[in-house]
Structure formats: C-alpha cells, structure tokens
A and B are shown apart, each in its own frame.
Chain A
Amino acid sequence: MEITSTLFTAKAIYVGIIFAITLGVAAYSTYFERIIAAFMQDRVGPDRAGPFGILQPLADAVKMFMKEDFIPANSNKWLFIAGPCLSMLTALMTSAVVPFGDQLDLGDGIILDLQGIDVNIGILWVFGIVSLGVYGVLIGGWASNNKYSLIGAIRAASQNISYELAMGLSIIAILMLSGSLSTKSIVETQQNGHWNILYQPLGFVIFLVCAFAECNRTPFDLPECETELIGGYHTEYSSMKLGFYLFSEYINMFISGAVMATLYFGGYDYLFNDYVAQISWLGEYAYNVSALLGLVVLIVKALIFVFIFMWVRWTLPRFRYDQLMGLGWTGLIPLAMFNVVLTGASMLFTVNDGGSNWMTVGASWAGVIIMLVVTFAYSEMKYKKKKLATA
C-alpha cells in the first residue's frame, strides 16, 4: 500500500511535468514560429516584449483573454463552446502513451516508468485520439452556423480522414518490425542505434507527410486558408476559444514530433546511454541520470521536428485541394502498401538467410532505390514517347 501510494504520487508529479512541458512548448512554439518566419524572411521578428521578446507568448495570451468572447446569435451555443474544448482535450490526451524516458529508480524498490500509461495498444491509442481530433473541428465549424466555417470544417475532416489511412499503413510496417503495438516495446527494439529510420526510410517520409496533414500545417493548411475560406472552421471564433484552436495545433505539432521520434528515431535512445548508466562516480544515480538524459533527448528530438514543421511552413505554398486529395489517395496510400510489402520481403529475406539487422537495412534501402529507379525509368520512357509523338 505504501509503495502504491508513493508510486501514485510520483506518477502524478510526472504527468504534471509532462503536461507543463507540453503546454510550455506549445506556448513558446507561437513565439518561435514568428521568430523562425522572420529569420527566414531576413527579418528579426518580435523583440519588444522582454529581452529578445521572450515574453511575447504572455503578451499574446493577455491579448487573447482581453478580446471580446463572441458567440454568434444563431449558433448552437453548447456545441460552439464544445468545439475548441474537444480540440484541446484530444491534443493533450495523445501524450499519455508516448514513452518520454526509461525508468526512474526512486529507491525502496519503487520503479517509475517515464510514460503516462504503458498499455499494450499504445500506438492504437494515438490513432484513436487523433481520429477524434476531427470532432473538435467539425463540431466547431458546424455550430458556427456559417457556410464558410462549415466548408472549412468539412475540408479539414475529409483531409484528416484521408491521411489517417496512409498514416496507419505506414505504421503497420513498424509494427511488423517490432512485433508489438506498445510504444514502449517499439522504443526498446530500437535501442543502441537500431533506429527504425534505418529500416523504414520510405515509411518515415510517408508518416512525416501525413503528420503535416493531420496537424493542418502548411502545405496542407487548407482548412484554415484565409484566401478561400476567410479563416475556415474558426471564422466565427474569437478570444480564447480561437486561442484554444490555435494552441491545440501547436500541441499537436509537439506531440506528433514526439511520436515520430518514438517510432522512427529511437525514442529516448541516444548514443552512449549504456555508458552513462555505468559511470562510476555517479554511483547508484547513474541509471537515473541516464534515464533523465533520455527524457531530455526525446524532447530535443521532438523540438527538432517542431522546427522542421515551421521550416516547411515558411518555405512551401499550400496545395490545391484536388492535389491534396490526389497525393493522399493515389500517392501515399499505394506507397505505404508498397512499403508494407517491402518490409515483409526484407524481413523474410533476413530470417531465411539468418542474416544480421544490417541486411534488413540494406534490403529496405535497396527496395526504395529500386522502386525509385524503376518509376523514374518508366516515367522517362513515357515522357520520351510523348515527346516523339508531339514532335
């Protein structure tokens, strides 16, 4: 009983810390989004609120709260409020199954997993919650009683549903490699540098593109495009309700970065973690230090992904809607299926030969390269034929 209650307290503290980190990162993402945008356009960005403008998120929050909280007359009031709440809720729930670190030894035989809940369906949990994120957008857009909001909501929902398919298919290859749905064991199979990115180059690209689409980030930010939909599903929203929608996007970005790091970049694995865990002068704390370092490493990996999200946003224009759907259904889904077949083939090849992991790596990269070359040759052939025909 004693141990259980201590463990409960420790877990509660851990969950609180992760929650705070997530919200803090999301708040400062708004600041860094503007700074990165400015730097890429040869400007300096916000630098007035505090030194280097680091109080900007605070100022933005104050501004958001001071705005009039407007609810349209003919809207469905409760659903109008429920929309942003749902978006925020689903964004925050995803991080429960992401293993932010290994275990901490708190003494007295109490071992704290640095993970919210270690369920054996971990990655499916992520999927379930992500698929529920659509409701926040859809309900908010419909409850606004505005046709632009509704169109934006429907576009957002259909985009999310379309890209969820390719995302799921790209994950199946990972599940084949690790043999488990649990995020913890997916990370554990990647320890010591056997990161899944080496085995799954194609799968990672597919997952990355789908993650962009799921977070409604450029080049897939059609749901909120101002030029066509005057703001999309949050046209009628103002004050902190709008803030919740925008905030949940940043939370989603951070969490999807963490998920990508977990699935493809070894999670909390870093070079020398075995070495750190055995440093003699740290004594009994060596293992804990190694685990905490792992936590930091995972967050850094997630932040690198957040940077890539922003980098892409300030580089690329958005897709046209038919291009978006075409890419999702005719591009990514067949590619993901090919990736599943390729992974299966390379696994079979290594198992039969009794070869090493590096042979799987070789096989998967060779498969991708062969696919590229074949498609390239085929398309060149068609291109030349067409040119001959027109000439």
Chain B
Amino acid sequence: MKLSNKSKVLEQEEMTFAERIYLPAIVGGMATTLKHFFSKKVTIRYPEQKRYLGPVFRGHHILKRDEEGAERCTACGLCAVACPAEAISMVAEERKKGEENLYREEKYASVYEINMLRCIFCGLCEEACPKQAIYLQHDKMVPVFEDRSEVIFGKDKLVEKMDNRYLREGWK
C-alpha cells in the first residue's frame, strides 16, 4: 500500500561487463584510498594539542566570589533541584559574626559537592542560580580522574581562587 507518492521503486539493472569483472571498480576504490593515504590527517593529538572550545563551551564548574572576594552562593538549593542528573548536593549554614567578608549572604553553603561522574554539563544549574554564584567555565575542562575518590568535587576544587578569577566576555 502506498501512503504517499514520494517513494521511488528501485530498479536494479543487470550489471554490465565492466561491473561484473569487478576489476575496474576495485582499481577505482584503491585510487580513492591511495588519495586519502597522502591527504592531510584530521586527528588532534589531544593532550599535546587542544581543540578550540568556543565561548559557549560548558566545562569545569566554578563557585563565583563577588568583587570583595565573598562567596556569592546562599545555599538555596535551586541548582540541586534544577540538576537533571542529581549531581549536586549541599549543606547550608548560618553566617556567624565576623564572616561578612567571607560570605555575601546571611546563609551560605558549608559543603557544596558535585559528582562529576553524574554531571552531564547541561548548564541548568547556571541558569537556575538566582545569585549568579555557579558558572560552567568556557575555557577549562574537568580533569581526568585517576581514582574513584577523586570524582566528587568539593568546595576546595569549585570555589573561585582570588588570584585566578574567572571572567567571561561581555561581563564588563
């Protein structure tokens, strides 16, 4: 039964003599592969040579600090809710007196963990964050794990370092 008239009936013609003795086709094929033998190789030798990642690449997560160096995160948990892979978990704590220069808001995350085996780098946490605290860096990839104990990234790996601040084009 024909649903539409778009389908084409394939008519297989009988092979001609040149096709039946295979050899011309084989020689043609071998010419093609020989051409590729001498062509430029497309391989990027990864650790030595890196591909350009682009300005919208979603890489290693970072917990931003504000201009004074206080952590922006307020442990609202919206990123954990937004995360489709349930990779994010956190423990919230109240800011004590004298910690104003460390944490911007009155409540902060004392533990903030991302399981990098679960994370799919979708960037929904970045979009969910009301405080512009979490970003996925466009120029840095998550390093290769060598041990199972290394896959959960805590605050020590996530919080922005003051001497190496993360900037995106168009932020200023």
Q: Determine direct contact between A and B, CB below 8 Å.
A: yes
Asked whether, in the complex, the Cβ of B16 is within 8 Å of the Cβ of A311, the reply is no
For B18, the chain A residues whose CB sits under 8 A away are 376
CA A386 – CA B16 in complex, angstroms? Answer: 12
Q: How far is the CB of B5 from chain A (nearest CB, A)?
A: 24
Which of B17, B32, B39, B43 is within 8 Å of A315, CB to CB? B32
Asked whether, in the complex, the Cβ of A42 is within 8 Å of the Cβ of B30, the reply is no
For B45, the chain A residues whose CB sits under 8 A away are 44, 47
Q: Cβ of A120 < 8 Å from any Cβ of B?
A: no
Q: Across the two chains, which residue of chain A brings its CB closest to B41?
A: A44
CA A379 – CA B41 in complex, angstroms? Answer: 43
Interface size for A (C-beta < 8 A) is 20
Asked whether, in the complex, the Cβ of A42 is within 8 Å of the Cβ of B41, the reply is yes
Q: Which of A33-41, A74-82, A93-101, A264-272 contacts B (4 or more CB under 8 A)?
A: A33-41
Q: Cβ of A314 < 8 Å from any Cβ of B?
A: yes
In A7-30, the 8 Å CB interface with B consists of none
| Given A315-B32, A375-B17, A380-B17, A36 contacting B37 (CB threshold 8 A) | yes
Asked whether, in the complex, the Cβ of B43 is within 8 Å of the Cβ of A311, the reply is no
CA A379 – CA B36 in complex, angstroms? Answer: 34
The winner among B20, B30, B39 for most chain A CB atoms within 10 A is B30
Q: How far is the CB of B63 from chain A (nearest CB, A)?
A: 37
Q: Across the two chains, which residue of chain B brings its CB closest to A378?
A: B17
Asked whether, in the complex, the Cβ of B33 is within 8 Å of the Cβ of A315, the reply is yes
Asked whether, in the complex, the Cβ of A386 is within 8 Å of the Cβ of B42, the reply is no
Interface size for B (C-beta < 8 A) is 20
Q: Cβ of B141 < 8 Å from any Cβ of A?
A: no
Asked whether, in the complex, the Cβ of B43 is within 8 Å of the Cβ of A43, the reply is yes
CA A41 – CA B34 in complex, angstroms? Answer: 10
| Given A311-B33, A311-B34, A315-B32, A386 contacting B14 (CB threshold 8 A) | yes
Q: How far is the CB of A87 from chain B (nearest CB, A)?
A: 28
Asked whether, in the complex, the Cβ of A315 is within 8 Å of the Cβ of B14, the reply is no
Q: How far is the CB of B74 from chain A (nearest CB, A)?
A: 47
Asked whether, in the complex, the Cβ of B34 is within 8 Å of the Cβ of A44, the reply is no
| Given A314-B33, A315-B30, A39 contacting B17 (CB threshold 8 A) | no
Q: Cβ of A1 < 8 Å from any Cβ of B?
A: no
Q: Across the two chains, which residue of chain A brings its CB closest to B34?
A: A311
CA A383 – CA B20 in complex, angstroms? Answer: 12
CA A210 – CA B87 in complex, angstroms? Answer: 59
Asked whether, in the complex, the Cβ of A311 is within 8 Å of the Cβ of B36, the reply is no
User: 1/0 per position for B20-52, CB-CB distance to A under 8 A?
Assistant: 100100100110111011011111010000000
Q: Cβ of A312 < 8 Å from any Cβ of B?
A: yes
For A311, the chain B residues whose CB sits under 8 A away are 30, 33-34
| Given A314-B33, A315-B33, A42 contacting B39 (CB threshold 8 A) | yes
For B26, the chain A residues whose CB sits under 8 A away are 312, 315-316
Asked whether, in the complex, the Cβ of A39 is within 8 Å of the Cβ of B32, the reply is no
CA A285 – CA B29 in complex, angstroms? Answer: 46
CA A36 – CA B41 in complex, angstroms? Answer: 12
Q: Across the two chains, which residue of chain B brings its CB closest to A308?
A: B30
CA A314 – CA B41 in complex, angstroms? Answer: 16
In A30-63, the 8 Å CB interface with B consists of 36, 39-44, 47
Q: Across the two chains, which residue of chain A brings its CB closest to B16?
A: A383
Q: How far is the CB of A334 from chain B (nearest CB, A)?
A: 13
Q: Across the two chains, which residue of chain B brings its CB closest to A380?
A: B17
Q: How far is the CB of B23 from chain A (nearest CB, A)?
A: 8
Q: Across the two chains, which residue of chain A brings its CB closest to B25?
A: A316
CA A220 – CA B121 in complex, angstroms? Answer: 46
Which of B14, B37, B41, B43 is within 8 Å of A383, CB to CB? B14
CA A40 – CA B38 in complex, angstroms? Answer: 8
Asked whether, in the complex, the Cβ of A316 is within 8 Å of the Cβ of B29, the reply is yes
For B16, the chain A residues whose CB sits under 8 A away are 379-380, 383
CA A43 – CA B42 in complex, angstroms? Answer: 6
Residue numbers of B with Cβ under 8 A of A are 14, 16-18, 20, 23, 26, 29-30, 32-34, 36-37, 39-43, 45
For this complex, 22 residue pairs linking A to B, each with C-beta atoms less than 8 Å apart, are A39-B37, A40-B37, A42-B39, A42-B40, A42-B42, A42-B43, A43-B43, A44-B41, A47-B45, A311-B30, A312-B26, A315-B26, A315-B30, A315-B33, A316-B26, A376-B17, A379-B16, A379-B20, A380-B16, A383-B14, A383-B16, A386-B14
Q: Which 8 A-B pairs have the closest CB atoms?
A: A379-B17, A40-B33, A315-B33, A44-B43, A315-B29, A376-B17, A39-B37, A44-B41
* Known A311-B33, A379-B17; further 7 A-B contacts with Cβ < 8 A: A40-B33, A40-B34, A42-B42, A44-B41, A44-B43, A314-B33, A315-B32
